[in-house]
Structure 1
Amino acid sequence: MGEILVARLRDAMLGLGSPATSQNHEHVIAELHHAHRDYRTCGYASLAVRLPRLISTAHAAHSKDHALLGRGYLLATRLLIKLDEQQLGWMAADRARQLAAAAGDPLAVAESARQLAVLARKAGWQDQALTLALNAAESPELREVGRSGTALRGLLVQSAAYTAAWKGDPDGMRELTAEAAALASGLGDTRLRDLGGFCPATVQLHLVSAENSVGDPARALAAAHAIDPAALPTTERRARLYTDIAHAHNRWGRRDACISSLLAAERCAPQEIHARPAVQALISGLLLSGRTTSDLRGLAARVGALRA
């Protein structure tokens, strides 16, 4: 499913996709809402049809809606990052940035900066990733948007915290995470659900990932145990919790606990787990590093880790 998604997004971005028969503007807006819902619920089979068609349709429209097309490209960027397609991710993120600027949408401008920061981090450009995220968080335009702007500032600070973890700076990571937690606490309820949500539980979830990245599985698991999965706003975020727990157990050499967490992630969001290269790589490593159980072999077969 991941390969199908990438191929269809690539074709849509290259102008080779097929627009919907109806290019009614209200219909395209509704399709974008449905695409975000598919992402939140990890409905990749539906998303593989809906999002590429939406991008092709929005490009084919006689009167371009820069804001709508830009939000479509932002969603495409998040998917391409998740599926480890960095080259297409850069292309989508840059288009999203230009469209957001043309639309004069400060939230979309800031979110495109966040996605560019993620891509820069994955490229090994840690200083640039930090600068992108923190500069966007301090944007005066973002501060004028109200509570949604505050939530997006929190997401940007979280991104910077994760980059600090990648740089091997646990103190900086925890300081930035505390700043994001203070912003989330001040908001009270979940904001920006279409961007993964921002609330105290999602900040704590980022802390799990960050502690894994600085190489401290004990702290990662302690942070994870403080999260009620039901408090996370989307299926996609809950699946991330279980996979992060699996990575922490794997770092600590706890094979059985790692496999149990992967199976929990699969029960939560099977299409997500079956599509992600990072999960496939983890399972492939388990196959090579120790005894193989029927649970592990079955999971490996379902995610395609046995193809080699």
Structure 2
Amino acid sequence: MHHIKSRHGQEIKETTAFPRLPGPRVVTHGHKGGEDPLRRRKVLTGIAASAAAAISPTPGSGSPSTEETLLGELLVARIRDAMLGLGETIATPSAWDPDTDFSRALADFDACRYSGLAVRLPRLIRAGHATTTGGVVGSDLPTKSYLLATRMLIKLDEQQLGWMAADRARQFAAARGDALGIAESARQLAVLARKAGWHTEALTIALSAADDPDLRGAGRPGAAERGLLIQSAAYTLARRGDREGMRELTDEATAIARELGGAIMLREHGGGFGALTVQLHRISAENHAGDPMAALDAARTVSLKALPSVERRSRCLSDVAAALDRLGRRQECVRTLLSAERHAPQETRARPAVRALVSSLLVSGPTSTELRGLAQRSGVLV
């Protein structure tokens, strides 16, 4: 049995080795009897047309905000098909370089450009599959692509696909002996376990991964990943309503960040790790632990301009809005959501958590022109 009394005074079960699963094999068969090839082509053509409209809407062809609310659905559908080896492959430009394309996909994620991710991320997943032959993983592209896909699927509340993507990332990372990739996939699995309500399991996954000797031997990047895992465990305790435990683990993450200095490390892992990102995490954690005033106090120490990406700024604003809503400060909540929309329109209008907050505001009290406008642009009020 593994104890973490130095962290929170409770026992966490020791994890065992993950089972090794066979790699996916997708075989393309000919058309079966009764299937209409013409109908199939029409369906695929319709999907492609919808994708083109959402990614590059023609002026006057429709409401951009309406199209943005559908970008999340489009992105999920394309990731799903890429993971399953279905549908048509997205064309690659001449002289295409997967590492460059991944960097651009990560920039799309940081900037909350769902339209760009809807093209690049599925293409990268398919390219990653192509690097694997005979059980040998030829590069870190599959791990990186599946980790980014998992983050996106969690954000869009697609937990079933998220489990699949995180587990594949873990398998690809294990095949290459990639300690950081294994740890980050464990962190994503812990997030998914938490969202499923499996709090003890989420703590076990995150804290056991943080204590893994391979991660402890990975130098400064390994320390940063440990901080991310401990931070994830703290958030799980917040969700369980354990305010004291959440604060203890968050303080531990803060101590790791201070030891690493002021720079934000591992930018490709959940927006990175550093003292500033720990404080950002504290906003949401305090709110979910039942202390929205402490959440706002934490927010006052965070400079939006200092956050490393639009995605992190959007997350900060949406977390502050949630705390304001809990305190019944409706007008400030709406103003904060409108600010989030200005920073990241595609994310604000498509992310389920934000849309749920907007929907709740519509039915819980008096509305305003600004709130109704945001609801319409988010597809909540038709």
TM-score (norm 2): 0.78
| Deviation by residue 1:15-41 (Cα, 9 ceiling, x = unmatched) | 014445559997112111111111111
Out of 260, 268, 282, the residue aligned to residue 207 of structure 1 is 282
Q: How much has 1:177 moved relative to structure 2?
A: 0.2
Equivalent residue of 1:193, what SS? coil
Give runs of aligned pairs for residues 16-35 of structure 1, distance below 5 A.
16-19=86-89, 27-35=97-105
Tell me the secondary structure at the aligned position of residue 268 of structure 2.
Answer: helix
Q: What is the alpha-carbon distance in structure 1 between the residues aligned to residue 95 and residue 156 of structure 2?
A: 29
The 5 Å alignment of 1:278-297 reads 278-297=353-372
Q: CA deviation at 1:97?
A: 0.6
| Alignment match, 1:270 | 345
- Choose from 174, 190, 193 the match for 2:267: 193
Unaligned runs of 5+ in 1: none
- For the residue of structure 2 that corresponds to 1:168, the secondary structure is coil
Q: For residue 9 of structure 2, what is the aligned residue in structure 1?
A: none
Q: Which residue of 2 is the match for residue 92 of structure 1?
A: 165
CA contact (8 A) 1:18 1:57 kept: no
Mapped to 2, the partners of 1:11 and 1:34 lie a distance apart of 21
Match of 2:119 in 1: 49
Deviations 1:103-154 (A, max 9, x none): 1110000000000000000111100100100011111111121111111110
- Residue equivalent to 1:306: 381
**Structure-2 residue corresponding to 1:5:** 75
Which of the pair is proportionally richer in helix? 1
Q: How much does 1:43 deviate?
A: 1.0
SS at match of 2:120: helix
Establish whether residue 138 from structure 1 lines up as the match of residue 211 from structure 2: yes
Contact 2:124 2:141 in 1 (8 A): no
Deviation at 1:57, TM superposition (A): 2.3
Task: Using the TM superposition, name which of 12-21 and 161-170 deviates more.
Answer: 12-21
> What letter is aligned with 1:14?
L
Number of paired residues? Answer: 307
| Alignment check: 8 A CA contact 2:163 2:192 kept | yes
Shift of the 24–154 alpha-carbon distance from structure 1 to 2, 3 Å rule, reads: farther
Q: Describe how 1:153-192 pairs up with structure 2 within 5 A.
A: 153-188=226-261, 189-192=263-266
Alpha carbons 1:23, 1:61 under 8 Å: kept: no
Larger radius of gyration: 2
Structure 2 equivalent of residue 38 of structure 1: 108
Residue from 135, 138, 160 that aligns with 1:65? 138
Letter in 2 for 1:193: R
Aligned-residue Cα RMSD (Å) equals: 1.6
Paired residue secondary structure (1:191): coil
Deviation, structure 1 residue 65:
2.8
The 8 Å contact of residues 17 and 56 in structure 1, kept in 2 or not, is answered as no
- CA distance 1:23–1:61, shift in 2 (3 Å): farther
Which amino acid letter does the alignment assign opposite residue 4 of structure 1? Answer: L
Work out the percentage of aligned pairs sharing the same amino acid.
59
